[in-house]
Chain A
Amino acid sequence: MPLTMAKIGEKNSIKKVGGKEEARQFLETLGFIPGTQVTIVTRIGGNVIVNIKDSRVAISREMAAEIIV
C-alpha cells in the first residue's frame, strides 16, 4: 500500500519508491530504499512526517503516495 495509507506509529518496511526520477533519487539519498523501516509520526492534510533511519522527513501527499510499503 502507499505510505499515505499507513497508520500513525506503525512500523512499515519500504517495498518500492516510485515517482519522478529526481525526487526519487533524493528520497533514496535520504534512506528511502527498499527494506528500510519507516514510521509515520504525524499527518496533516495528507502531508506526513515520517521517521526513517533516526531522522525526521516531511513529505507532501503526492510524494508519499509514490512510496509503497
Chain B
Amino acid sequence: MPITIALAGNPNSGKTTLFNALTGSNQFVGNWPGVTVEKKEGRLKGNRDVIVADLPGIYSLSPYSLEEVIARNYLIDEHPDVILNIIDGTNLERNLFLTTQLTELGIPVVLAINMMDVVKKNGDKINTSQLAKELGCQVIEISALKGTGIMEAAKAAVDTAGNVKTIPRHGFSGTVEHTLAHIEEAALHDLSEERRRWYSIKLFERDEKIIAKLKLGQEQVQHIEDSIKSCETEFDNDSESIVTSERYAYIESIIKGCVKIKNKGSLSASDKIDRIVTNRWLAFPIFALVMFIVYFVSVTTVGTFVTDWANDGVFGEGWHLTGGSAYEEAAGNFEIERLKVEVYLTAAREAGLNAEAVAETLESEEPDEAVVDAFIADASAAPVAAQLDVTDEEGNLEETLSVSATDFKTALTAEEPDPADFGVWVPGVPVIVGRFLEAINCAEWLQGLILDGIIAGVGAVLGFVPQMLILFIFLAFLESCGYMARIAFIMDRIFRRFGLSGKSFIPILIGTGCGVPGIMASRTIESERDRRMTVITTTFIPCGAKLPIIALISGALFNGAWWVAPSSYFVGMAAIVCSGIILKKTKLFAGDVSPFVMELPAYHMPTAGNILRSMWERGWSFIKKAGTIILLATILVWFTSGFGWADGSFGMVDMSDSILARLGSLIAPLFAPLGWGNWRAAVAAVTGLVAKENVVGTFGILYGFAEVSEDGIEVWSELSAAFTGLAAFSFLVFNLLCAPCFAAIGAIKREMNNAGWFFIAIAYQCVIAYVVSLCIYQLGLFFSAGNFGIGTVAGFLSLAGFLFLLLRPELKGQPLKTGGAFGINA
C-alpha cells in the first residue's frame, strides 16, 4: 500500500530544502489542476512506496490566495495519509498558526521543527516533548540545511500514517465553541466526526468556497448566520478575526511553557543586516553595487567568454580543450607573415614595380614560382623596403618591423596553422555532424536542413545557455540568501508610481540577459494583475540577443556613435514605464495596486546543492524549449528561405526567389510608413521572431554574404545605402519592442496560461512597436526635412493617441483581490 506524505509549511520555512533532501532526484514536476502553480511530487529515498507531495508554501488555509486554495483542496479532496508540517524553529509562533489549522483536518500530523541548529546556536531552548503533548502530535527536531533528523521525520510520518489520529487539543473560548457546536449540529451531521471540526470553523468564518462545496441550502445558511452574528456581537469583531485572534492567543499560551528565548528583544543578525542593507541612504548604492557585480560577471566578462565558447566553439568550428594559447600565438604569427606580404606588395607598387602579376598568382591555388622569383629578383634589385606596424588588440603600436625581399620570401612560405595540431582540439557540433553526413552520403538538401537549418538555428539559441546558467547561479544565490526579497522591497516605491510592483524589477533585470527566464521569474509575483503586466513589459528591455542588432545599426548608419546603445536601453525602460501607466488606466488592469505585504526571510548562507539545483531547473526548462518550438521554427524558416518557385517549378532556389522573400515583399508595404518598406528589412524582422540575433544573419544572406560576423560589418555599406539614419533607428526600435523571439513568446504563453491574455500581450507589444517607430520616423522626417504627407498626419495622430492614453485620468475600477501567500519562494 503506497503512503502519501503531504509536506506543508510556511514560505521560507525550508520546505523546498527538506523536500529535495527527502526525495533526492526522484522528483516529478507537474501542474496543479488548472493552474500554473508547479506541483512537485517525489518518492522517498530508501522507501519507494512512499510518495512525498510538496504543497505550496502557505501561512494559513484561508481562501484568499491561489496557493492556499490549492493546498487545502488537496488536503480535503485527496486526503493524504499524513501531513508532515515543517516549522521554522526560530519563528515558532507564526509557524504554529498553520499547524493549529492542519490538526483540525482529521489527517494525522507530524511536526518537523526546522533550523534547530540555529535555535541552539542562539542559546534558545524548545521543549519538544512538552510541545508534542500540547499539540497532540509527534514532534521531530531537524535541520534541513545540515541534513540532520530528516529521515527520522520521514519515518515518524510513515509510522503515524494510518495508525495514529491527531485530535486538535486547542479549543476556543466558550461562546465560539458553543457556536461551532451549533453549526456542526445544524449543517454537518452527515460528515464523519473527525472532519466536522474543520468544516464548522470554516462555516463560522463564512468561507464562501466551503459553503458552495457543502451545497448548503439557503435556510441552513441563514440559520448558521444568526448564531455567527450573535457571537460577533459579543466579541465586537468579525468571525474571521475572532478565530485568528483565538488561535494566536492559544499559541501564546502553550509557547510560554515550551520555549525559552535567551536574548529576548535584542536585534537578530538579520535585523542588523537589514538596518544596513535596506537603510534609507545605503539601500540604493548597495543595490547598484550588487547589480553591477552580477551584470559585470554574467553578461560581460565571464558571460562573454562562455557565450563565445558556446557559439564559436561548440556550435562553430571547434574549440581547444588545451593548447589554445599556443594556437593563438601561432595564428598571430601567421597573421604577421601575411601582413608582411601585403605591405611589401604595396611598397613595391609605390616604388613603381609591377606587382599585379605576382599578386594574382599568389591569390591562386598554386602560385607560379617563376613569377614569384622574378618579382623577388626585381624587388631586391630596386631595392624595395617596407615597414609593418604591429599593433596589439587595442590598436596601440607594439613594434615596427622592416620587411626586405628576403623577409618577403620567407613570409610566403608561412603556412596557416591548423587548430587541430595544437593541444586537444574539439571540433564543433556542425563540423562533426557535417563530416558524418558526408561520410554516409547524405542528400544535399537534408545536409542543408540539418546543418544550416536545425543546428545553426537551435545552436544559436543553445549558445546562450552557458551564460544564462551563470546568471541563474547569481539569481539563485540572491534568492536563497534572502536579498532578492529586499530588492523587491527597495524598488517597490519607485515601481508603484507607474503601476508595477517592486517584484517586477527582478524579471526585468533578468530580461537584460535573456527574456525567457525573465518572463519565468515573474512567477514570484502573486498579484495576477501585476504579474500579467510584468510579463507583457519585461521583453521591452534589450536582451543579449538584441545587442547584435544594435551593433549593426549603430555601426552601419551612425558610425558607431556612442549614444545608440544607451538609447536602446532608454527606449526599453521608457516603454516599460509608459506601458505601466497606459495599461493601468485600461479596463483590463484598472483598480488599486495590491498593497505590498511580504514576509522577508532571514538572511542565511545557501548551500551549493540548492543553488545548483535551482540553476539547473531554470536552465533545463529553457533547453527543453529550444528542442521543441525553436526547432520547429528554424525548420520552417530554413524551408521558406531556401525553397520557392523559380523558372516555373518548385525547388531549391536563391533566397531572393524564396517563399520567404515573396512573403517579405507582401508584408513590406506594411512597414513603408516606418521608413523601411523593402522586402529585405521586412524578412529580417520576421526572422528575428525565431531569434533576435537572426536579424543580422538574415541581412547577411539577403545581401549575398555566406556568413557575417556578429555585428554584420560586411553588410554595413549595403545597409547604409538602403536605409536613411532615421529609417534605421525606426527599424532598430521596432525590433527592440515588437514581439520577442519564439522562445520568449512561448514563455509568455506559458506564464499567461490563457489564450486571450497571450494574444493581448503579443498584440500590445507589436502595436506599441509599430506606433513608436511610426512616430520616430514620420515626426523625425517632418522636423528634419519638413516633409509633410499622409504619414506625417498618421504620426501626429499616433502621438496624440499615445499621449492621451498616457495622461488621461485613471479609471475607477473594482478593488482588486490582493495576493495571499506573499512569500518569495513559490
Interface residues of chain A, those whose CB is within 8 Å of chain B, are: 11, 19-20, 22-31, 33-34, 36, 41-47, 49, 51-63
**Would A57 and B599 count as touching, CB distance under 8 A?**
yes
A19 to B595 Cα, complex, angstroms: 10
Q: Can you list 21 A-B contacts with CB-CB less than 8 angstroms, sorted by A residue number?
A: A22-B817, A23-B818, A27-B597, A28-B240, A28-B241, A30-B597, A30-B599, A33-B241, A33-B244, A33-B248, A52-B94, A54-B91, A54-B92, A56-B599, A57-B597, A57-B600, A58-B597, A59-B595, A59-B597, A60-B496, A63-B595
| Interface contact B245-A33, CB-CB below 8 Å | yes
Residue contact B489 to A49, C-beta cutoff 8 Å: yes
CB of A34 within 8 A of CB of B245, answer yes
Q: Are B600 and A60 in contact (CB under 8 A)?
A: no
Chain B proximity of A69: nearest CB distance (Å): 16
A28 touches B244 (CB 8 A): yes
Contacts of A52 in B (CB 8 A): 94
With both beta carbons as reference points, the residue of chain A lying nearest to B822 in the complex is identified as A26
| Residue of B whose beta carbon sits closest to that of A17 | B241
Cβ contact of B271, chosen from A19, A23, A27, A51, cutoff 8 A: A51
Does the CB pair A30–B59 fall under 8 Å?
yes
Q: Which residues of B contact A (CB under 8 A)?
A: 59-60, 62, 64, 90-94, 97, 240-241, 244-245, 248, 265, 268, 270-271, 274-275, 278-280, 283, 485-486, 488-490, 492-493, 496, 594-600, 602, 815, 817-818, 820, 822
CA distance in complex: A51, B248 (Å): 16
With contact pairs A42-B279, A44-B490, A63-B597 given, residues A53 and B271 touching in the complex (Cβ less than 8 Å): no
A58 adjacent to B94 (CB under 8 Å): no
Task: Kindly state the separation between the CA atoms of A53 and B532 in the bound complex, as whole angstroms.
Answer: 33
Query: Contacting A55 at CB < 8 Å: which of B62, B599, B817?
Result: B599
Cα distance A41–B817 when bound, in Å? 28
B244 and A44 contact, CB distance less than 8 A = no
Query: Do A42 and B93 touch (CB < 8 A)?
Result: no
Q: Which residues of A contact B599 (CB under 8 A)?
A: 30, 55-58
Partner of B91, one of A11, A53, A62: A53
Nearest Cβ on chain A to B597's Cβ, whole angstroms: 5
Q: Do A43 and B92 touch (CB < 8 A)?
A: no
Known: A25-B62, A45-B493. A56 touches B818 (CB 8 A): no
Give A29 to B98 CA distance when docked, in angstroms: 9
- Contact in complex: A58, B240 (CB < 8 Å): no
Q: From B599, which residue of chain A is reached at the shortest CB distance?
A: A57
Q: Once the chains are docked, how many angstroms separate the CA of A67 from the CA of B485?
A: 22
Chain A residues, CB < 8 A from B594 = 23
Which residue of A19, A31, A60 contacts B94 across the interface (Cβ within 8 Å)?
A: A31
Contacts of A33 in B (CB 8 A): 241, 244-245, 248
Given A55-B94, A58-B486, list of 17 further CB < 8 A pairs?
A19-B595, A23-B595, A27-B597, A29-B59, A29-B62, A31-B93, A34-B245, A36-B248, A41-B271, A42-B280, A49-B489, A51-B268, A54-B90, A56-B271, A57-B599, A58-B597, A58-B598
Q: Tell me the complex Cα distance, A61–B283, Å.
A: 17
User: A19 to chain B: which residues have CB within 8 Å?
Assistant: 595
Please report the C-alpha to C-alpha distance between residue A17 and residue B721 in the assembled complex, in whole angstroms.
Answer: 68
Bound complex: CA A64 to CA B809 (Å): 27
Give complex CA distance A54, B90 in Å.
7
Structural contact, A44 and B493, CB atoms closer than 8 A: yes
Closest to B95 in A: A55
Q: How far is the CB of B252 from the nearest CB of chain A, in Å?
A: 9
Residues in B neighbouring A61, C-beta threshold 8 A: 493
The chain A residue sitting closest to B238, CB to CB, is: A21
What residues of chain A lie closer than 8 Å to B244, measured between beta carbons? 25, 28-29, 33
Contact A56 B270, CB 8 Å, known A29-B60, A33-B248: yes
With A29-B60, A30-B599, A57-B599 known to touch, is A47 a contact of B94 (CB < 8 Å)? no
Give chain A residues whose Cβ lies under 8 Å from the Cβ of B270: 56
Residues of A within 8 A of B596 (CB): 47, 58-60, 63
Q: List A contacts of B265 (CB < 8 A).
A: 11
Bound CA–CA A8/B222 (angstroms): 48
A27 to B716, CA, bound (A): 60
Complex contact A53–B94 (CB within 8 A): yes
Give chain A residues whose Cβ lies under 8 Å from the Cβ of B600: 49, 55-58
Docked complex Cα distance between A49 and B603 (Å) = 14
Specify which of B97, B278, B485, B817 is in contact with A29 (CB 8 Å cutoff).
Answer: B97
Residues on B with C-beta less than 8 A from A57 are 597-600
- Return chain A residues, CB-CB under 8 Å to B488: 58
B664 to chain A, nearest CB (A): 50
Residues from chain B with Cβ under 8 Å of A25 in the complex: 62, 64, 240-241, 244
Smallest Cβ distance from A68 to chain B, in angstroms?
14
Considering the chains assembled together, what is the distance between the CA atoms of A49 and B241 in angstroms?
Answer: 23
Q: Which residues of A contact B280 (CB under 8 A)?
A: 42-45
Tell which of A27, A49, A52 has the most Cβ of chain B within 10 Å.
A49
CA distance A61 to B270 in the complex (A): 22
B597 touches A23 (CB 8 A): yes
Min CB distance, B655 to chain A, in Å?
55
Please give me the 4 A-B residue pairs with the lowest Cβ-Cβ distance, nearest first. Answer: A60-B596, A45-B493, A56-B600, A63-B595
Closest to A36 in B: B248
Would you call A56 and B64 a contact (CB within 8 A)? Answer: no
Q: Once the chains bind, are A42 and B278 in contact (CB under 8 Å)?
A: yes
- In the complex, the chain B residue whose C-beta lies closest to that of A45 is B493
Instruction: Name the one of B64, B94, B283, B602 contacting A30, with C-beta atoms under 8 angstroms.
Output: B94
Q: Which residues of B contact A58 (CB under 8 A)?
A: 485-486, 488-489, 596-600
Residue among B90, B244, B279, B485 with max Cβ neighbours from chain A (10 Å): B244
Q: How far is the CA of A27 from the CA of B598 in the complex (A)?
A: 10
- B290 to chain A minimum Cβ distance, whole angstroms, is 16
Q: How far is the CA of A52 from the CA of B598 in the complex (A)?
A: 12
- The docked-state distance in angstroms from the alpha carbon of A52 to that of B91 is 10
A residues in contact with B90, CB < 8 Å: 54
A43 CA / B244 CA spacing, docked (Å): 28
CB distance from B202 to the nearest CB of A (A): 14
Specify which chain A residues have a CB less than 8 angstroms from the CB of B268 in the assembled complex: 51, 54
CA of A53 to CA of B268 in the docked complex: distance in angstroms?
12
| B residues less than 8 Å from A42 (CB atoms) | 274-275, 278-280
**Cα-based distance from A22 to B527 in the complex (angstroms):** 13
| CA–CA, A23 and B245, complex, Å | 16
Contact status B597-A20, CB under 8 Å: no
Decide if A47 touches B240 in the complex (CB within 8 Å). Answer: no
Closest chain-B Cβ to A55's Cβ sits at a distance in Å of 5
Instruction: Report the separation of the CA atoms of residues A59 and B821 in the bound assembly, to the nearest whole angstrom.
Output: 14
Which residues on the A side are within 8 Å of B279 (C-beta)? Answer: 42, 44
Closest chain A residue to B278, Cβ basis: A42
Closest A residue to B275 by beta carbon equals: A42
CB closest chain-A residue, reference B248: A33
Q: Is the CB of A22 within 8 A of B248?
A: no
A6–chain B nearest beta-carbon distance, Å: 15
A50 to B212, CA, bound (A): 37
CB distance from A63 to the nearest CB of B (A): 4
Nearest Cβ distance between residue A43 and chain B, in whole angstroms?
A: 7
> Nearest chain B CB to A56's CB is how many angstroms away?
4
Given contacts A31-B97, A42-B274, contact A26 B64 (CB under 8 A): yes
Contact between A60 and B595, CB atoms less than 8 A apart: yes
Answer whether A53 and B93 are a contact pair too, CB < 8 Å, given A29-B59, A58-B485, A58-B489.
yes
Partner of B489, one of A22, A26, A47, A54: A47
Q: Is the CB of B493 within 8 A of A46?
A: yes
Inter-chain CA distance A42–B278, complex, in Å, is 7
Minimum CB distance partner of B240 in chain A: A25
The complex places the Cα of A38 from the Cα of B59 at a distance, in Å, of 19
